[in-house]
Amino acid sequence: MVATIGLTGLRPAPEQVALVTAPPYDVIKKGSKLEALLAARAQSLYHVTLGERPAEAFARLRSDAALIADDEPAYYVYEQRFGAEARTGVFVAAEVTPYAAKQIIRHEKTFDDKVKGRIALARATDHTFGPVFALTQAKIGAVLAKAKSAAPLYHFTTDLQALNDLHGIESRIWRVTQASELGREIQSTLATQPFYIADGHHRYHAALLNPQTHALVYVTEEARIQAYDRVVNGVRKFADIKSALELRPTSTLHTPPKHTFCLYTRDGAYLLDAKTIPTDVVGRLDCSILERELYPQLGLTHSMIQDPKHFDYYPESQIDQMKAVVDRGEYDLAIALHPVSIDELVAVADAGLSNPDIVMPEKSTFFAPKILSGLFVYRHVMK
């Protein structure tokens, strides 16, 4: 169902791949230690994706041979190993089609400012630097395993000094030319099913509006969703509305059961159960319930959820960091949710095929681990 072709453009010089590659732009918080670390690395793609002069930074990476040309269309099989787990997917150039075509299926809303930023970068450089992360129900895993019998093109471990979930992950990448027998098998297998956007909605929407013929996409059968937790500064303090809530004390901030929220303040931790669980695919999501049942008590509205004065967001794996932010007094309240399931994501995405207004609330899911940017820099073509 989704037409793909091999990638052409640039890729890191093998000896510099660990320094060139970087976490996705949207998990690098301004002013953070992670940003400082990446900014200090002259070869880092950070200087392109978030730097003040992206076109100049991109030209410098090419002139310094940190990025080298690769003009033969190829698929790139990508294995990540993290602890005892592993995930394999493949980088492709996927045909950009409108959502109504039901080839590339979304589940989340997008923000205009973020889309405009990605379009501006694409037009300034004529390349795409970060992939859309997509799920497929095509049986691609067994096909990709064939590529892994050969020696990898890249094999490295990411060093981010424990400042990001990608730190310590072992990456192996294999290059499969489109013209090869295996390349044709990858192409035909992926064509049997649509792609569900897991992460990177803004990147795909930017490719759609740019407009490009193809988008850089990472596709996998395998995915794990973490809860996307949040810290909050309400218009009203939690202490002032606490008595109106049916709270149960708990020992600490932790991932709670479904339809229950774990709340943490400097005065203690509590569990709060959902009062009403609707039957519709969006309304029954915990992030939707939270917005209906708790945010109004705090004086918060939907228009505030992207305002850092009121909200910041952390993956489930960073509960300790979120707790520390509250302990320092930067935010009043931390809220841990139960993660969205793959079945819930697909149910919302499928419902949105007949009604484009059916999408998940923003900041509903966090796919881990993320996909490194810079493993391939795609030279996109305009329609």
Per-residue pLDDT reduced to its tens digit, 313-327: 999 989 999 999 999
Average pLDDT for 267-292: 96
Q: Indicate if the pLDDT at residue 3 is higher than 90.
A: yes
pLDDT, tens only, 284-297: 999 999 999 999 99
Place 175 in a pLDDT band, splitting at 50, 70 and 90.
Answer: very high
Q: Indicate if the pLDDT at residue 63 is higher than 90.
A: yes
- What does the pLDDT read at residue 114? 83
Place 109 in a pLDDT band, splitting at 50, 70 and 90.
Answer: confident
Query: What distance in Å separates the CA atoms of residue 148 and residue 142, rounded to the nearest whole number?
Result: 10
Query: What distance in Å separates the CA atoms of residue 165 and residue 224, rounded to the nearest whole number?
Result: 13
Task: Give the neighbor-by-neighbor strand order of the sheet with 260-265.
Answer: 247-250, 268-273, 260-265, 333-336, 228-232, 311-315
- What does the pLDDT read at residue 215? 98
Amino acid (1-letter code) at residue 341: S
Q: Is the pTM of this model over 0.85?
A: yes
**Burial bucket for residue 196 (CB in 10 Å: 0-12, 13-18, 19+):** buried
Which stretch of 44-58, 110-124, 188-202 has the lowest confidence by average pLDDT?
110-124
- What does the pLDDT read at residue 113? 80
Q: Indicate if the pLDDT at residue 103 is higher than 90.
A: yes
Q: What is the mean pLDDT of the chain?
A: 95
Instruction: Please say whether the beta carbons of 182 and 176 come within 8 A.
Output: yes
Half-sphere exposure of 291 (CA within 13 A, CB side): 18
Instruction: Give 355 or 245, the one with higher predicted confidence.
Output: 245
CA 195, chain centre distance (Å):
15
Q: Indicate if the pLDDT at residue 264 is higher than 80.
A: yes
Percent of the chain with pLDDT over 70: 100
- What does the pLDDT read at residue 370? 93
pLDDT, tens only, 45-61: 999 999 999 999 999 99
Residue 77's closest CA among 146, 16, 13? 146
Distances (CA, A) of 5 to 73, 145, 220, 376: 7, 19, 16, 14
Average pLDDT for 158-164: 95
Residue where the block lists tokens 């192409």: 187
Partnered with residue 212 across adjacent β-strands are 382
Average pLDDT for 67-84: 97
Q: Indicate if the pLDDT at residue 380 is higher than 90.
A: yes
- What does the pLDDT read at residue 112? 77
- Would you tell me how many other CB atoms lie within 10 Å of the CB of residue 341? 12
- What does the pLDDT read at residue 77? 98
- What does the pLDDT read at residue 368? 87
Which tokens go with 21?
């590659």
Query: What distance in Å separates the CA atoms of residue 41 and residue 303, rounded to the nearest whole number?
Result: 36
Q: Indicate if the pLDDT at residue 277 is higher than 90.
A: yes
Query: What distance in Å separates the CA atoms of residue 145 and residue 189, rounded to the nearest whole number?
Result: 13
User: What is the DSSP-derived secondary structure letter of residue 31?
Assistant: T
User: What is the DSSP-derived secondary structure letter of residue 158?
Assistant: -
Half-sphere exposure of 350 (CA within 13 A, CB side): 8
Q: Indicate if the pLDDT at residue 111 is higher than 80.
A: no
- What does the pLDDT read at residue 286? 97
Strands (E), the chain: 4-5, 7-12, 67-82, 85-95, 104-105, 132-136, 154-157, 170-177, 195-199, 214-220, 225-226, 228-232, 247-250, 260-265, 268-273, 311-315, 333-336, 366-367, 377-378
CA 94, chain centre distance (Å):
18
